[in-house]
Amino acid sequence: MSRVAERSSGVASRIARHRALPAVVGAIAVWVSVAIIGDGSVFGTLRSGATVGAFVALTGLGQLFVIAAGNGNIDLSVPYVLTLSAYVASGLVNGNNAAVVPAALAVAGIGALIGAVNATLILVLELPPIVGTLAVGFVVETIYLEVSPHVQGNVGSFVGTVATGGVSGVPYMAIIAIVLAGLVSLVLTRSWFGRQVLALGQSRPAAELAGIRSGLVTFATYVICAVSASLTGFLLAGYVGGASPDIGASYQLGSIAVVVLGGCLIAGGVANAPGVLAASLFITLLVTLTDLIHVSAGVQQIIEGGIIVLLLSTVGKERVRVT
Amino acid sequence: MAKHFGATVAVKDVDLTVEKGEIVAVVGHNGAGKSTLLRCIGGFETPTRGTIAVAGIDVNPLTVQVARRLGLRSVRQELSLPTSLSAVECALLIRGKRMDTWQARRHVERSIESLFGEMFGRDMPNPRQHLTNWEFSQRQLLEVCLAFLDYKEGCRVVLLDEATSALDADITERLLRWMRGISESYGVAVLISSHRLHELVGLVDRAVVMADGLIVGSAANENVTEAKLVELMRAGMVQARARADSRVAAEGSGGARDKPLSVEHSQSERRDGATLIEVTNVAIHPSVQGATLRVDAGEIVGIGGLEGQGQSELLRWLYTHLGRRNTPISRIRGASVLRRSARRDSSAASRPGLVTGDTRREGVFPYWSVRWNTSIKARTQLGRLGVVRSREERSVVDALLGELAVKGRPEQNIMELSGGTQQKVVLCRALLDRPTVLLLDDPTRGIDAATKDEIYRLFMDLAKSGVGLLWYSSEISELRHCDRVYVMRGGYTVGELKGGEVDEQVLEMSFSHA
């Protein structure tokens, strides 16, 4: 009796308590609803949802580091970095596939610079993160609004294929997102840097007494977030076929929402990369669902908001055991 | 009245009466229960047992709002005025009256200004300015001022809980004289808890001495002298110890308190003489004025004294400065710091470890397991190219946890364990990278007796193995486990005592005003 039963109840209860569970359940529920109500193919819905969702997931994975470090840290410059990168990438590549790698490095470099500026404003000038990153975001916006009329070209066919294509029915973007989420997960659990970020998010005084250089760690998280936003912008330009001033709009709250819905604590200290994936899928399919039921845009938003609140209320505050 | 916080008894059984117009001082060493007593009277805590009566009427429940309505005003050591308001706005906030007219506000402004001048003999900063622009000491003065604002009408009793601790001696003296005056004229009673005994002499009607949650004596009028009060405290401490010893004997627990562990300890050969810490006349702004101490390998050196005399700041400063590689002799505010590593041959600079008593805020990582809580500091041993070596983590950490008999499984969430066990985990964390000197900032605060004993034994073992320990404890009886004890007062190390039964000497040195 005992051993098998104990073990399976152990596994079952661990799944039930897993912080990503509500997002996974939500994603499945919405997908099923879409499949029932809609008239497209079941897997087609999943495919497109996974592709679009992957972009949010990528920005979410970057934002995850900033939020996990706690202490009020958050990056509101994500949509602006993303948009700027779309423009810069389009301009640098200009349809020439050979230029993709150098352009990617340049874009990542710009992202790193912006992340450094964010971190400096917050750590040195002691600006509240919400204020500091938003201010940087507006400056970035001004830059790309200046730049945009002069940018022609697109990011080329290679990136376009990566962004829109797939292999045996699985979108490349989904694969990228999954691989990256796995990587982030490993970093958070198996690397010292990840431990330091999570320690900082749980208790800054304890972390500093344990010898963690909170300034450096925080700096690194902002750089990671901005770089991920910029590379996402590069890929997004491939998906959309160019750059426009508003392609980043939904990533402002989107990058934060998927972090929180995925089971991370907004106060920091707990992070869940797979949850970010599930939450991205959930949010993307949710928009599809509300589109399908043909209600006005306002009602759509109410329904989306209501479902998100419902989901959040089920992500309880149980202790997270990380071993 | 009694007040328990779970298993901790802060106030055991106190009967106290304060008459109209009386100024009563409550004095005692750390943990005597003075603050808890005043907080209960002010309505911030609810007594576990007993009653509080105001003007003859039992009040239950006594909340902060009820207390205020009954004329009880509290001023605590931590400032409570919102700094984004001005002095006038704070006064209006406290009084809870709506003052829409500018005449009313002007009236309040003038009242505060004149009262301030009366009480402290100096001008108040601009009452319309936000308090963020005021200095800390000015804000403290304002809080006391506002407590007395309606001394002619509704105010009955003012409770000053260490409220004068940051004030200059001359201001405090003037304040006390002023209070003398108004309590005689208007019948306002004052209950003041303070450890600055010399200020109270000649200015209070009665002084009540607390120790170990009980009132152990009192003195009135001309009998209120520093010597008398310290003597009463000493007697109280002796009684408390006798009570603890008889309790242990009755329980027959045999192990822990048979003889002070330091006797065992000092008999063993553990000194190899290397000096790990030697500081001379170190000053650390703003809390340490001049500290001189020395810790050798294998020694347990204690620091005693009342709380807040600079002990924590000194320990933290040592923690950050001893950690720096090859610290040369450096001049800090006219002081010199010399650090000699006990292990001249080791390539890594000898690292200090620090353990604080505030486990909840500065110790635990609440979402993590015991294992992860322990390993977080040991990057050099358990990491390679930035990656955590899990197998090594498991074996090394689990072994240490086992060695220290930490209850609970290593993969358990740390918050499921008791406070004492959590503190042991934090200790393990500090020990994992083999420090040569261990700095302890009141590490056994709030821990159950059994775990405390385990921790004392651990300290003994560490000292035997050559580690030097510098241990600040707010509980005098703990210092008996030390080889030597320094006492800090007012930011200075005021004495060095040889180890053993130093309780009474520490008590005296904590208070006497040289």
pLDDT score of B338 more than 60 = no
Query: Are B502 and B455 within one domain?
Result: yes
pLDDT (tens digit per residue) in B362-388: 999 999 999 999 999 888 778 778 888
CA atoms within 13 A on the CB side of A104: 15
pLDDT score of A286 more than 60 = yes
> In the structure encoding, which two tokens stand for residue A167, read together?
């292999």
pLDDT value of position B405: 87
Query: Are B440 and B512 within one domain?
Result: yes
Tell me how long chain A is: 323
Query: Are B395 and B480 within one domain?
Result: no
B364/A321 Cβ within 8 A: no
> In the structure encoding, which two tokens stand for residue A13, read together?
């209860």
pLDDT score of A298 more than 80 = yes
How far apart (Å, rounded) are the C-alpha atoms in residues B36 and B32?
9
> What's B481's domain CATH number?
3.40.50.300
Query: Are B160 and B65 within one domain?
Result: yes
How far apart (Å, rounded) are the C-alpha atoms in residues B470 and B277?
9
Q: What is the domain range of residue B337? A: 261-351+435-514
pLDDT score of B171 more than 70 = yes
Q: Does A317 touch chain B (CB under 8 A)?
A: no
Residue B404 lies in a domain: yes
Residue B497 lies in a domain: yes
Q: Does A319 touch chain B (CB under 8 A)?
A: yes
B388/A191 Cβ within 8 A: yes
What is the number of other CB atoms lying within 10 angstroms of the CB of residue B465?
Answer: 11
With contact defined as beta carbons under 8 Å apart, do B342 and B364 qualify? no
- Partner-chain residue, chosen from B356, B388, B413, that has the shortest CB–CB distance to A192: B388
How far apart (Å, rounded) are the C-alpha atoms in residues A321 and B373?
12
> What's A95's domain CATH number?
1.10.3470
Q: Does A321 touch chain B (CB under 8 A)?
A: yes
Q: Mind telling me how many Å the CA of A265 is from chain B's nearest CA?
A: 11
Domain boundary among B393, B414, B429: B429
pLDDT value of position A219: 97
Query: Are B328 and B368 within one domain?
Result: no
pLDDT value of position B257: 44
**Which range among A233-242, B225-234, B398-407, B505-514 shows the weakest confidence by mean pLDDT?**
B505-514
Instruction: Report the amino acid identity of residue B155.
Output: C
> In the structure encoding, which two tokens stand for residue A289, read together?
């669902």
Query: Are B446 and B469 within one domain?
Result: yes
Residue B139 lies in a domain: no
Residue A8 lies in a domain: no
Q: If pLDDT is split at 50, 70 and 90, which confidence band does A323 have?
A: very low
b (16+ CB within 10 A) / e for B67-80: bbebbbbbbbbebe
Q: Mind telling me how many Å the CA of B391 is from chain A's nearest CA?
A: 11
**Stated pTM of the model:** 0.83
What is the number of other CB atoms lying within 10 angstroms of the CB of residue A17?
Answer: 13
With contact defined as beta carbons under 8 Å apart, do A218 and A225 qualify? no
Query: Are B163 and B226 within one domain?
Result: yes
Residue A10 lies in a domain: no
Chain A CB contacts of B416 below 8 Å: 319
Residue B183 lies in a domain: yes
Residue B230 lies in a domain: yes
pLDDT value of position B246: 84
| Chain B residue set in contact with A, beta carbons under 8 Å | 319, 354, 356, 361-369, 371-372, 376-377, 379, 383, 386-388, 390, 411-413, 415-416, 429
pLDDT value of position A15: 63
Query: Are B279 and B295 within one domain?
Result: yes
- Partner-chain residue, chosen from A192, A209, A320, that has the shortest CB–CB distance to B367: A320
Query: Are B416 and B480 within one domain?
Result: no
> In the structure encoding, which two tokens stand for residue A215, read together?
């300034």
Query: Are B341 and B458 within one domain?
Result: yes
pLDDT (tens digit per residue) in B201-252: 878 899 999 988 899 999 888 888 888 888 898 898 888 888 888 877 776 5
Q: Mind telling me how many Å the CA of B411 is from chain A's nearest CA?
A: 6
pLDDT (tens digit per residue) in A63-108: 999 999 999 999 999 999 999 999 999 999 888 888 899 999 999 9
| Mean pLDDT of all residues in B253-269 | 46
B356/A202 Cβ within 8 A: no
How far apart (Å, rounded) are the C-alpha atoms in residues B145 and B154?
15
How far apart (Å, rounded) are the C-alpha atoms in residues B208 and B229?
8
How far apart (Å, rounded) are the C-alpha atoms in residues A36 and A55?
25
Determine the residue among A187, A193, A208, A209 to mutate to test chain B binding: the one whose Cβ has the most chain B Cβ atoms within 10 Å: A209
pLDDT (tens digit per residue) in A135-184: 999 999 999 999 888 888 888 888 888 888 888 888 999 999 999 999 99
B373: nearest CA partner in chain A:
A199
Please classify residue B135 by burial: count the beta carbons closer than 10 Å to its beta carbon, then call 0-12 exposed, 13-18 middle and 19+ buried.
exposed
Q: Mind telling me how many Å the CA of B366 is from chain A's nearest CA?
A: 7
Q: If pLDDT is split at 50, 70 and 90, which confidence band does B264 have?
A: very low
Q: If pLDDT is split at 50, 70 and 90, which confidence band does B268 have?
A: very low
> In the structure encoding, which two tokens stand for residue B331, read together?
């001049």
Domain boundary among B413, B429, B445: B429
Q: Which residue has the higher pLDDT, B257 or A248?
A: A248
Residue B397 lies in a domain: yes
Q: If pLDDT is split at 50, 70 and 90, which confidence band does B100 have?
A: low
B387/A192 Cβ within 8 A: yes
pLDDT score of A276 more than 70 = yes
A190/B388 Cβ within 8 A: yes
Q: If pLDDT is split at 50, 70 and 90, which confidence band does B328 have?
A: very low
Residue B90's nearest CA partner among B149, B173, B137 is B149
- What is the three-class DSSP state of B35? helix
Instruction: Report the amino acid identity of residue A198.
Output: L
> In the structure encoding, which two tokens stand for residue A133, read together?
């990153």
**Which range among A203-217, A289-303, A305-319, B259-273 shows the weakest confidence by mean pLDDT?**
B259-273
A193: nearest CA partner in chain B:
B386
Residue A100 lies in a domain: yes
Q: Does A295 touch chain B (CB under 8 A)?
A: no
pLDDT value of position B101: 77
Determine the residue among A187, A198, A213, A319 to mutate to test chain B binding: the one whose Cβ has the most chain B Cβ atoms within 10 Å: A319
| Residues contacting residue B169 through CB under 8 Å, at least 6 positions apart | B196, B199
pLDDT score of B492 more than 70 = yes
How far apart (Å, rounded) are the C-alpha atoms in residues B488 and B511?
10
Residue A1 lies in a domain: no
A211/B377 Cβ within 8 A: yes
**Which range among A80-94, B117-131, B340-354, B361-375 shows the weakest confidence by mean pLDDT?**
B340-354
Q: What is the domain range of residue A97? A: 20-314
pLDDT (tens digit per residue) in B33-57: 898 999 999 999 899 999 899 888 8
Residue B91 lies in a domain: no
Chain B CB contacts of A206 below 8 Å: 361-365
Q: If pLDDT is split at 50, 70 and 90, which confidence band does B272 have?
A: low
Residue B125 lies in a domain: no
| Mean pLDDT of all residues in B96-100 | 66
Distances (CA, A) of B388 to A195, B353, B375, B392: 9, 21, 10, 9
pLDDT value of position A321: 47
Query: Are B281 and B343 within one domain?
Result: yes
Give chain A's domain count. Answer: 1
pLDDT value of position B331: 34
Query: Are B230 and B376 within one domain?
Result: no
Q: Mind telling me how many Å the CA of A320 is from chain B's nearest CA?
A: 6
Q: If pLDDT is split at 50, 70 and 90, which confidence band does B347 have?
A: very low
With contact defined as beta carbons under 8 Å apart, do B191 and B208 qualify? no
Residue A162 lies in a domain: yes
DSSP state letters, B158-178? EEEESTTTTS-HHHHHHHHHH
pLDDT (tens digit per residue) in A2-54: 333 333 445 666 666 677 888 888 888 888 888 888 777 778 888 888 999 99
Residue A6 lies in a domain: no
Sign of CA dihedral B247, B250, B256, B262: positive
Crossing angle, helix A273-292 and helix A172-190, to 10 degrees? 150
pLDDT value of position B227: 87
Q: Does A209 touch chain B (CB under 8 A)?
A: yes
pLDDT score of B159 more than 80 = yes
Residue A14 lies in a domain: no
pLDDT value of position B324: 59
Work out the mean pLDDT of chain B and round it to a whole number. 83
Q: If pLDDT is split at 50, 70 and 90, which confidence band does B258 have?
A: very low
Give chain B's domain count. Answer: 3
- Partner-chain residue, chosen from A195, A206, A270, that has the shortest CB–CB distance to B364: A206
B379/A192 Cβ within 8 A: yes
Ramachandran angles phi, psi of A153, nearest 5°: 95, 170
Determine the residue among B324, B370, B376 to mutate to test chain A binding: the one whose Cβ has the most chain A Cβ atoms within 10 Å: B376
pLDDT value of position B486: 94
Q: Mind telling me how many Å the CA of B71 is from chain A's nearest CA?
A: 40
Chain A CB contacts of B432 below 8 Å: none
B361/A206 Cβ within 8 A: yes
With contact defined as beta carbons under 8 Å apart, do B74 and B94 qualify? no
- Partner-chain residue, chosen from B362, B369, B376, that has the shortest CB–CB distance to A321: B369
- Partner-chain residue, chosen from B365, B387, B390, that has the shortest CB–CB distance to A202: B365
- Partner-chain residue, chosen from A206, A321, A323, that has the shortest CB–CB distance to B365: A206
How far apart (Å, rounded) are the C-alpha atoms in residues B375 and B380?
10
B354/A198 Cβ within 8 A: no
Placement of tokens 């009665």 in the chain? B206
Residue A211 lies in a domain: yes
- Partner-chain residue, chosen from A205, A210, A269, that has the shortest CB–CB distance to B361: A205
pLDDT score of B335 more than 50 = no
A202/B367 Cβ within 8 A: yes
Domain boundary among B429, B458, B478: B429
Chain A / chain B CB contacts < 8 angstroms: 71
